[in-house]
Amino acid sequence: AEAVLLRLAELDALPTRYAILEPSADLRERQQQRRQQNLPAELAARVEWIDRPFEEDWEGVVFANEVIDALPTPRFLIKDGEVYEETVELDGDGNFIRGAQPADILLNGAVRHIERYLEKPFAEGYRSEVLPQLPYWLQAVAGGLQRGAMLFVDYGYNRGEFYQHDRDDGTVRAFYRHHVHNDVHRWPGLQDITASVDFTAMAEAGLHGGFELAGYCSQASFLLGNGLDQVLLLAEERTDEVGRIQLRDQVKKLTLPTEMGERFQAIGLQRGVDFEPAFELGDLSWRL
């Protein structure tokens, strides 16, 4: 937010309001302190924290970076041709283990929709994730947005890649002290648990919510297509040689295929505006 506001000020394109939807009281306090310390008073005054999306009619932009992957997602299992929901149970020693129960109507319908889309049933024993509540979440986040755009950046795949036959245990994983592992029950409360994003589901949710798909591409394509090279040159003029090396390393991390450039994807939705030029470089909408 800090970087965005400073850059928008340079472009003479500041919004009237910059609202942050942050549920954590601790993070809100830290963000507010940083705002006061690092932003000019005129910019700091535009930032506010909200408890829920705007319910009244409004125009503007929704931007969410690594938010979808943090939504609590059900896990499903195919057993005897039926859809089950993966549960968490206790073993005899009090440790968390996997369990299963028959899926409810919402989860069962979401899994069968994916099978119809892929034109083949899931194999016996296949496990993965699906967010049947995603359309409702997206509509809630947009609130009363009458005219504007939504941009989501996250790691994930299109539906065909997400549900590949050999990805038969899904994408859920845990991060503990910067190390990734698959035993999500190991250290409850001490690790981040995450799942990748089905970007086809994002596009469907947007279309069902009355938005148009503006585009879908890798993070590298999105950044380079929107002038990252010019921004880098401008930033290099304002720093010394050490600073220039650091900036180039940051750009590499954001764009190289072996770093974040291909693993992270960007998807845009629009209503009453033309957001499509932002995705002209490397648009992969056809793959959704």
All structural domains of the chain with their residue ranges: 1-51, 54-71+132-288, 74-130
Question: How distant, in Å, are the alpha carbons of 4, 6, 170 from that of 157?
Answer: 26, 32, 12
Burial 44-67 (b: 16+ CB within 10 A, else e): bebbeeeeebbeeebebebeeeeb
Choose the CATH number for 54-71+132-288 among 1.10.10.10, 3.40.50.12710, 1.20.58.220, 3.40.50.2300: 3.40.50.12710
- The answer to whether 282 and 221 have CB atoms below 8 angstroms apart is yes
Dihedral, CA of residue 266, residue 173, residue 100 and residue 89, to nearest 10: -140
**Mean pLDDT for the stretch of residues 192-198:** 94
**pLDDT band with cut points at 50, 70 and 90 for residue 234:** confident
Could you give the CA distance from residue 41 to residue 164 in angstroms, rounded to a whole number? Answer: 51
pTM over 0.85: yes
pLDDT at 202 over 90: yes
Could you give the CA distance from residue 7 to residue 17 in angstroms, rounded to a whole number? Answer: 15
Could you give the CA distance from residue 77 to residue 168 in angstroms, rounded to a whole number? Answer: 10
> Which DSSP helix (H) or strand (E) runs through 246?
helix 241-255
Q: How many CA atoms lie within 13 A of 83 on its CB side?
A: 21
Q: Can you tell me which residue has the tokens 């283990």? A: 97
**Mean pLDDT for the stretch of residues 74-96:** 95
Cα 56 to chain centroid distance, Å, stands at 24
Q: Which of 167-171, 203-207, 239-243, 253-257 has the lowest mean pLDDT?
A: 239-243
**pLDDT band with cut points at 50, 70 and 90 for residue 238:** confident
Cα-Cα end-to-end distance for the chain:
29
pLDDT of residue 243: 87
pLDDT of residue 231: 86
pLDDT of residue 89: 95
pLDDT at 235 over 90: no
| DSSP category for residue 184 | T
pLDDT of residue 237: 84
**Mean pLDDT for the stretch of residues 110-122:** 97
pLDDT at 282 over 90: yes
Burial 165-182 (b: 16+ CB within 10 A, else e): eeeeebbbbbeeeeeeee
Q: Which of 58-72, 133-147, 178-192 has the lowest mean pLDDT?
A: 178-192
Q: Can you tell me which residue has the tokens 């940051």? A: 250
pLDDT in tens, 4-13: 999 899 899 9
pLDDT of residue 5: 93
pLDDT at 264 over 90: yes
pLDDT of residue 189: 87
Mean of pLDDT over the chain: 94
- The answer to whether 159 and 147 have CB atoms below 8 angstroms apart is no
pLDDT of residue 142: 95
Could you give the CA distance from residue 49 to residue 65 in angstroms, rounded to a whole number? Answer: 17
pLDDT of residue 58: 95
Token pair in block for residue 9:
């000020």
